[in-house]
Chain A
Amino acid sequence: MNRFLLLALVVILLLSPISTVVAGEHLRLATTTSTENSGLLAELLPPFEQANACQVDVIAVGTGKAIKLGENGDVDIVLVHARSKEDAFVAKGYGVDRRDVMYNDFVLLGPASDPAGIKGMTDAAAAMAKVAQARATFVSRGDESGTHIREKQLWQASSVTPGGDWYLEAGRGMGEVLVMAGERQGYALSDRGTYLAFLDKTELQVAVEGDARLFNPYGVIMVNPQKHPHVKVELATKFLDYLTSDQAKTLINGYRRGGQQLFYVP
């Protein structure tokens, strides 16, 4: 019995994490759930990993947390979508070399019954004010993600302070919020990529789109190696170069989900 336990311990220790830690260089990328859940990264990363014999470890969280991980130096690179936060991140010296990568747009989704009567409007802020006025259910991310930050900016533009039993702060990822909004017959702000990925799983429809304030650009930033010396500058620079290269552009523009393009590179 004792011998068995000892043997098990030895085998487990031999086969365990050490091997994965040592094998190849690892680049840590904190990014948003929208890039990971849409399946884009699974398409975009392998060519880079093969060319540089490395592995990109993707930690998919909200933009707020991704930036926090960058501030702490727990990752090498952040790929996020909240320009105001990105600029603050760079201004405070936590990040360097910010570059534009791609964009898509946000859409205001609602149930087919459209209780607030906003379908077809082109002014997102006015539409949200109408939702608040009608006290129609609105599901908010409530997690300091890029989408949540944009939603708060839109509320501000509509001069409404959301609150009350119609305003649900989910505190969860985009996918969960879409499911929740669908079940509760509510409105929600979503990036188009996640919505398209959910098209066959949700009854929500696009109520408002096309407002310039719904533009959703993604930026990539290297964590400042002067603040965090362990940042893999060389590999990280290569990654930034790759994300902004023609090769990546072709891959991003060519990525389809259900026949629809999710992200755009100009």
Chain B
Amino acid sequence: MGYLTESLTTAIGLILSFDREVQLTIWTSLYTSSVAIVFAALLGIPAGVWLGISRFRGRRLMITLLNTLMALPTVVVGLVLFGLFSRQGPAGSLGLLFTPWAMIAGQTVLATPIVANYVLSTVSGSDPRILDTVLTLGAARFQACVQLLKELRFGVMAAVIAGFGRVIAEVGVAMMLGGNIRGSTRTMTTAIALETSKGEFAFGLSLGIVLLGVALLINLLLNLLQQR
């Protein structure tokens, strides 16, 4: 019990003291996850809408594949991209390994199937008359899709939030592709892993509490946006 209370007090202390290193890891977590979720949204939303409204042979198979991709283990994504970004790999000359961009790439791969799946199920579950009506009113196909997304904005927002939750909480990609470099690629989760390996369990857990606090703030913010 002392362990939990110690973690809680340390967490509060960390937040109140504005510890620079903790701020930096929070910031790294936030911006890599944010950039990744923007990319994932740009890829995943159109993919989800397309799969949701079109009918073609092999569609069921594609949906099954997309569902499977949701189960992608983070270390597998990390391994594949590690091979790609390493100096020996095909994209090695870019020197991206162990930079925030490598983490963003990995997190985008993780989040895109989640966003696409959520959008797909929202679109599939929506009233089919929305699209028909808008099309009848003379909208072009693209305009119609935009209108559909506007109608379904709660579902789309849920998709983005779910994807964001996945990437800000994951540790495999950040550790393998970022390398947990202090001041550069150390995120909240890799910092927690590091503290655990140092045996600083209470400090690690307090970082976890801070991470949850940050997630709470973001969700409150998104909630506000949604209600407007």
Q: Kindly list chain A residues whose C-beta atoms are within 8 Å of the C-beta of B194.
A: 37, 60
Q: Kindly list chain B residues whose C-beta atoms are within 8 Å of the C-beta of A15.
A: 31
> Of the candidates A9, A74, A172, A201, which one forms a contact with B97 in the assembled complex, judged by CB atoms under 8 Å apart?
A74
Bound CA span A137–B43, Å: 51
Q: Min CB distance, B59 to chain A, in Å?
A: 29
* Residue contact B35 to A13, C-beta cutoff 8 Å: yes
A residues 91-132 touching B (CB-CB < 8 Å): none
Closest B residue to A201 by beta carbon equals: B199
Bound CA span A173–B199, Å: 11
Contact pattern, A 213-231, Cβ under 8 Å of B = 1, otherwise 0: 0000000000000001010
Bound CA span A228–B87, Å: 9
Contact pattern, A 150-184, Cβ under 8 Å of B = 1, otherwise 0: 00000000000000000000001111101100000
Contact pattern, B 85-101, Cβ under 8 Å of A = 1, otherwise 0: 01110001001011111
B residues 34-50 touching A (CB-CB < 8 Å): 34-35, 38
* Residue contact B199 to A179, C-beta cutoff 8 Å: yes
> Of the candidates A57, A60, A175, which one forms a contact with B184 in the assembled complex, judged by CB atoms under 8 Å apart?
A57
* Residue contact A230 to B38, C-beta cutoff 8 Å: no
Q: Kindly list chain B residues whose C-beta atoms are within 8 Å of the C-beta of A74.
A: 86-87, 97-98
Bound CA span A73–B225, Å: 46
Bound CA span A16–B86, Å: 22
Bound CA span A228–B95, Å: 12
* Residue contact A175 to B198, C-beta cutoff 8 Å: yes
User: Known contacts being A12-B34, A72-B87, is A17 close to B99, with CB within 8 Å?
Assistant: yes
Q: Min CB distance, B43 to chain A, in Å?
A: 14
* Residue contact A59 to B181, C-beta cutoff 8 Å: yes
- State which size class the interface on B falls in: 20 to 34
Tally chain A residues at the interface, Cβ within 8 Å: 37
Q: Min CB distance, B60 to chain A, in Å?
A: 32
> Of the candidates B99, B179, B183, which one forms a contact with A55 in the assembled complex, judged by CB atoms under 8 Å apart?
B183
> Of the candidates A17, A59, A73, A201, which one forms a contact with B31 in the assembled complex, judged by CB atoms under 8 Å apart?
A17
Say whether B122 faces chain A, with CB atoms less than 8 Å apart: no
Bound CA span A225–B32, Å: 31
* Residue contact A176 to B197, C-beta cutoff 8 Å: yes
* Residue contact B100 to A8, C-beta cutoff 8 Å: no
Bound CA span A26–B184, Å: 10
Closest B residue to A75 by beta carbon equals: B98
Best-surrounded residue of A1, A33, A74 (most CB of chain B within 10 A): A74
Closest B residue to A2 by beta carbon equals: B146
B residues 195-218 touching A (CB-CB < 8 Å): 196-199
Bound CA span A20–B184, Å: 7
Bound CA span A16–B33, Å: 11
Say whether A28 faces chain B, with CB atoms less than 8 Å apart: yes
Say whether A188 faces chain B, with CB atoms less than 8 Å apart: no
Say whether A21 faces chain B, with CB atoms less than 8 Å apart: yes
Q: List 10 A-B contacts (CB under 8 A).
A: A16-B31, A16-B35, A20-B100, A55-B183, A55-B184, A57-B184, A60-B180, A174-B197, A178-B199, A230-B95
5 tightest Cβ-Cβ pairs between the two chains A and B? A17-B100, A73-B87, A59-B179, A57-B181, A175-B197
Known contacts A72-B86, A198-B199, then 16 further A-B pairs from the complex at CB < 8 Å, ordered by chain A residue: A12-B34, A13-B35, A17-B31, A20-B184, A21-B99, A21-B101, A57-B179, A59-B98, A59-B180, A73-B88, A74-B86, A74-B87, A174-B197, A176-B196, A228-B87, A230-B87
